[in-house]
Structure 1
């Protein structure tokens, strides 16, 4: 019922937000005589703030059309390399007219970026992808909003996520592949590569794990504490809802994106209130650059997706309540997950000093589990002053983190190549 109430609210706010948008545009159009009236700028700023608070936020585009690679501007075309019901494997294909650049790009390492399925779209890693494209062939997991997946496609569990990662690795080819997982997918990625190694399959050259809950008992955060202080039945009864009839996935049980977004905001409500107030003040002052930065951030931050209920509850139980991976007790479709079976895949772990989602030590724990990887093929980095998002986006990512990731991949690619 809560989901239906949300849809009614959205239906009511939709026309009001569009009215506010039209009014804001009219009052900032210099050809409109009403824009010259006293107080017009203040009214326009208020209308735009109203529009942005009430509008529906659609999935953003990656919008990466060109990068600099090998000293030349390179065109980028986004393609779907493989499609499964709950995820598309996207490739960012690079093009150049210079034969020498084409030859250099052919030798660049291939990287699979495994994006989180935890509320936001994969476009949250836009900055990660853009940086990687300068030196790598880049693929990314683009997870589908569960409300858009027809119910006949069945359930999607945590073990299905693991199976998807295995399929993507095989599709790209493990022999020349490096895998980067950000936050939540560090756990299923480690499971997928562990299972492949235990079966004797070829595994990727390296895996880079960034800010993920490999061992949530180490320096638990508010996110970890919520999962351990409530029984699984509480999550089933309070955050799981049914998709209403106006979506392709009607009848499917999900953890709705609007509830996740409310949780994101509740973690630091004053910061968001101040940000919106500053946006209003920037509009009044005519500070268009800061106002546009606010729009871009919240266009991404407010765009959320529904998660399949089975996957969400599996993750709460397996990762955050039973700690099956670090305890060595996790079975996926009857196969025990043994990270110690990994011997040929190098490991790089990265943590943010101020990460309030995955605390210090949670990702580093992968090194203890992956005891079969030689010490000279493992590394751990703590990024001073970085929060959770700072290790994969923004200035610290571009200037501090990415060069270390690039150099690690380059070294491991050369070692096996």
Structure 2
């Protein structure tokens, strides 16, 4: 599998299907066909439209689509996405609401590098930008990174997070979503040892595999069943000649997407069949529910091979974070070194990816942290996506997270005057 020809073959298949869709759509759209009242022609045009869009989205990075924001003054303010720190494998970006006073809450939203772009957190960003200064880790597609940029594994990921935290300063509130939760915990602990003044004020871990064995799922079982040799042989390929990262070893986004789709193949097949019918009847629109979901779901990115393999081996198989044995750049990180950063975990009771128990394990690792700075919440009825972007996040979890941040930070300064709010104990729910 580790050949450029294999990578290019997948891209060729994707490109061919996109072309077939565009061809069918164009052929069935000729005015002459309108003289023949044949529903098959309409179906052909609809199939072509849905097929072209589906395969085209697989190689396009989605836009954040956050252009304006209505503030308390009733005016629409432009939102500029500014790059604060630029690095080969990912940037730190800031959603700057132009003309609005700087908000007292500064949040670093750590996006997962797990096959989708950081734009997967678009709704999360929108909900936080209301009354927070929001920064996001914007990871790059590995296929676009030249081999000369070097490797990128979980140790490099951790060092990136440390650099981002240092850049933002000690008044930062870090929120890590899913996959980066264990590495964000490690980065915070490493900062506590090397540069205590640069530690964030709070750390919220949402649905992350701190201890994958605490509550096994299909994801963790897969990591146990498959050997590292099998993973490398079947999942890793070299980027083909079409992209700047030609020759780089990656876990291809298209291969990841095939895995995602196969988990719920029947449901996805019905969704596309129904969409073709809606298009044929003229009931679909460019931004309907189907297109909004799949425009993001189908947009996948390649992961550096060393990042994917080291995640499986060190986080899931060897459980280095869960055992407090994680090593970064030759230094053994001690999670117990965290003594001042308030830590909160959030889990969903119906999360089938990071099941309840996996994330809350972080609190037991923080042996140097008093109970008053620890908090945990399990959202009843919420699945994996819902705990950071769904109804559960909007209605319940977001208010709890912001309250946790406020409980462990200085109160907003009225009219430029600092006023300290006595911290209150973080409730464990």
TM over 0.5: yes
Q: CA, structure 1 residues 107+138, in 2 after alignment: closer, same or farther (shift >3 Å)?
A: closer
- 1:93-242, aligned counterparts within 5 Å? 93-96=96-99, 102=100, 105-173=101-169, 175-202=170-197, 203-242=199-238
Gaps of 5+ in 2: 412-419, 422-429
Q: Secondary structure at the match of 1:288?
A: coil
Q: CA, structure 1 residues 336+70, in 2 after alignment: closer, same or farther (shift >3 Å)?
A: farther
1:288 aligns with 2:291: no
Q: CA, structure 1 residues 14+51, in 2 after alignment: closer, same or farther (shift >3 Å)?
A: closer
Give deviations 1:43-85, integer Å, cap 9, x for gaps. 3322223323443431100010123444644331111111100
Give deviations 1:149-191, integer Å, cap 9, x for gaps. 0111111111000000000111111x21000100110011011
Deviates more, 1:224-233 or 1:332-341: 332-341
Alpha-carbon distance in structure 2 between the residues aligned to 1:9 and 1:356:
31
Counterpart residue number, 2:84: 81
Counterpart residue number, 1:395: 391
Alpha-carbon distance in structure 1 between the residues aligned to 2:206 and 2:137:
16
- Cα offset, 1:288, TM superposition: 3.0
1:65 aligns with 2:67: yes
Contact 1:10–1:56 (Cα < 8 Å) also in 2: no
1:19 aligns with 2:34: no
Q: CA, structure 1 residues 291+92, in 2 after alignment: closer, same or farther (shift >3 Å)?
A: closer
CA RMSD, Structure 1 to Structure 2 (Å)? 2.0
Counterpart residue number, 2:53: 52
Q: CA, structure 1 residues 303+283, in 2 after alignment: closer, same or farther (shift >3 Å)?
A: same
Alpha-carbon distance in structure 2 between the residues aligned to 1:394 and 1:34:
44
Counterpart residue number, 1:99: none
Alpha-carbon distance in structure 1 between the residues aligned to 2:328 and 2:230:
25
Alpha-carbon distance in structure 1 between the residues aligned to 2:242 and 2:191:
40
Give deviations 1:114-154, integer Å, cap 9, x for gaps. 10011000000000101110011011011011010011111
Deviates more, 1:159-168 or 1:367-376: 367-376
Contact 1:117–1:185 (Cα < 8 Å) also in 2: yes
- 1:215-364, aligned counterparts within 5 Å? 215-288=211-284, 292-364=288-360
- Cα offset, 1:21, TM superposition: 4.4
Alpha-carbon distance in structure 1 between the residues aligned to 2:286 and 2:160:
40
- Cα offset, 1:280, TM superposition: 2.2
Alpha-carbon distance in structure 2 between the residues aligned to 1:53 and 1:213:
31
Aligned residues: 404
Counterpart residue number, 2:427: none
Alpha-carbon distance in structure 1 between the residues aligned to 2:267 and 2:410:
45
Q: CA, structure 1 residues 414+54, in 2 after alignment: closer, same or farther (shift >3 Å)?
A: same
Alpha-carbon distance in structure 2 between the residues aligned to 1:395 and 1:37:
47
Alpha-carbon distance in structure 2 between the residues aligned to 1:318 and 1:34:
59
Alpha-carbon distance in structure 2 between the residues aligned to 1:309 and 1:204:
30
Q: TM-score, normalised by structure 1?
A: 0.92
Runs of 4+ residues deviating >4 angstroms: 32-37
Q: Secondary structure at the match of 2:409?
A: helix
Alpha-carbon distance in structure 2 between the residues aligned to 1:347 and 1:282:
47
Q: TM-score, normalised by structure 2?
A: 0.89
